[in-house]
A = this chain, B = another copy of it.
Amino acid sequence: MIDVGIVGGSGYTGGELLRLLANHPQANVVVVTSRKLAGKPVTAVHSHLKNIYSLNFEALGAKEAAERCDIVFTAVPHGTAMDWVPELLDAGTRVIDLSSDYRLPVDVFEKTYATKHRAPREAVFGLPELHPEVAKAMLVGNPGCYPTGAILALAPLANAGLVERVIYDSKSGISGAGVEPTETSHYPNMSQNVIPYKLTAHRHVPEIKQELSRLSPEIKVNFTPHVVPSVRGILTTAHVLARPGAEEALQDKSRVASIYQEFYRNAPFVRMADGVPKLSSVRGSNFCDISFEPEKESDRLVVVSAIDNLVKGASGQAIQNMNLMAGLDQKTGLWFPGLAP
């Protein structure tokens, strides 16, 4: 059994780690930290976990957490994770960081987040479909929610060298904005609305560019996110423009299908959807569903991907990484369907 710790267990990704690990056959949550809620049962904020967990939040430091855990998930805001990670690693504990502190090279991180990085460490970008080397990592930087859906949608085509440019138009459920009420998450503002934000400069763009340009150095990437009246889920519409000369290739449906199939032949959580992917098909699950359609007499191909932002876009992917790090089948504890309808 893996003894698991969760640093920052009161938010949505912390709650989701608890939900998903409740039935994991090889992992056992032994520590959940929260400075604010120390001493209170985890069910005080996660009432859905009642009778399932009898753990209390604790106000531990990194050293104590390291002593009691084999693997620690840091589910704290960016800029805070870097205060936990070095001590955890130094104590020999492996870390999966759900914040953005270890996803990017230091210079890119500092520019993107306007924050000095106080504790750079070597880390693997935790998208297991592209980075099998997570298995050996001491520190994994778990990807952002948007990058997960965006990169998985494009990686096979980028890898095949067929893409000149991709313009992502993503639609996310509002749970991605976290547990704290804001003007945007206020029901009368979010209901019956579609809210584009950070139209040209979202902080997740560098992650997407980093991963796609590894596969296709010259690729151009644009990204515009929106929040929609949904709690969970990200639907990404990728408007793909063919590299000159590749227009015909993108028109060939069976060829494109083969490219995806081949690329994801060892990726059980990526499913090629029959028809357009539905958020309800992936809700609560670790799947990423993908489909595509070429535009006739055009250089454009539209690729659509659907994930649950809190699962494949955060806590589920983190557990998938944990499985690989622990030498388990990546599906362990994660092989269940979405909640539809």
Query: Inside 8 A of A186's CB, which chain B residues have their CB?
Result: 179-181, 185-187
> Across the two chains, which residue of chain B brings its CB closest to A18?
B337
A245-282 interface mask toward B, CB cutoff 8 Å, 1 = contact, 0 = none? 00000000000000000000000100101111011111
Given A48-B281, A237-B226, A239-B239, also A231-B341 (CB < 8 A): yes
Complex alpha-carbon distance, A224 and B300, angstroms: 11
**Would you call B171 and A228 a contact (CB within 8 A)?**
yes
A193 to chain B, nearest CB (A): 5
A177 to chain B, nearest CB (A): 9
**Would you call A239 and B226 a contact (CB within 8 A)?**
no
Count of chain A residues with Cβ under 8 Å from any Cβ of B? 85
**Would you call A47 and B281 a contact (CB within 8 A)?**
yes
**Would you call B194 and A230 a contact (CB within 8 A)?**
yes
Which of A18, A50, A274, A294 has the most chain B CB within a 10 Å cutoff? A50
Given A200-B296, A201-B295, A226-B171, also A192-B193 (CB < 8 A): no
Q: Kindly state whether residue A60 has any CB partner on chain B within 8 Å.
A: no
Given A47-B273, A50-B281, also A337-B22 (CB < 8 A): yes
**Would you call A237 and B222 a contact (CB within 8 A)?**
no
Given A22-B336, A169-B239, also A200-B298 (CB < 8 A): yes
Complex alpha-carbon distance, A226 and B285, angstroms: 23
**Would you call A284 and B281 a contact (CB within 8 A)?**
no
Q: Kindly state whether residue A108 has any CB partner on chain B within 8 Å.
A: no
Nearest 6 A-B pairs (CB), nearest first? A200-B295, A188-B341, A181-B181, A169-B169, A48-B340, A48-B338
**Cross-interface CB contact of A222 among B23, B182, B282, B300, cutoff 8 Å:** B300
**Cross-interface CB contact of A228 among B51, B185, B228, B278, cutoff 8 Å:** B228
Q: Kindly state whether residue A8 has any CB partner on chain B within 8 Å.
A: no
Interface residues in A192-233 by Cβ distance below 8 A to B read 192-197, 199-201, 222, 224, 226, 228-233
Q: Kindly state whether residue A335 has any CB partner on chain B within 8 Å.
A: yes
**Would you call A52 and B188 a contact (CB within 8 A)?**
no
A170-192 interface mask toward B, CB cutoff 8 Å, 1 = contact, 0 = none? 01011100011111011111111
Q: Kindly state whether residue A339 has any CB partner on chain B within 8 Å.
A: yes
> Across the two chains, which residue of chain B brings its CB closest to A188?
B341
Q: Kindly state whether residue A78 has any CB partner on chain B within 8 Å.
A: no
**Would you call A278 and B187 a contact (CB within 8 A)?**
no
**Would you call B231 and A229 a contact (CB within 8 A)?**
no
**Cross-interface CB contact of A339 among B18, B233, B339, B341, cutoff 8 Å:** B339
Query: Inside 8 A of A271's CB, which chain B residues have their CB?
Result: 50-51
Complex alpha-carbon distance, A283 and B49, angstroms: 12
Complex alpha-carbon distance, A43 and B274, angstroms: 9
A sample of 17 inter-chain contacts (CB < 8 A) reads: A18-B337, A23-B23, A47-B340, A50-B281, A51-B271, A51-B287, A167-B300, A169-B224, A181-B181, A188-B280, A191-B231, A192-B280, A192-B283, A199-B276, A200-B294, A200-B300, A339-B339
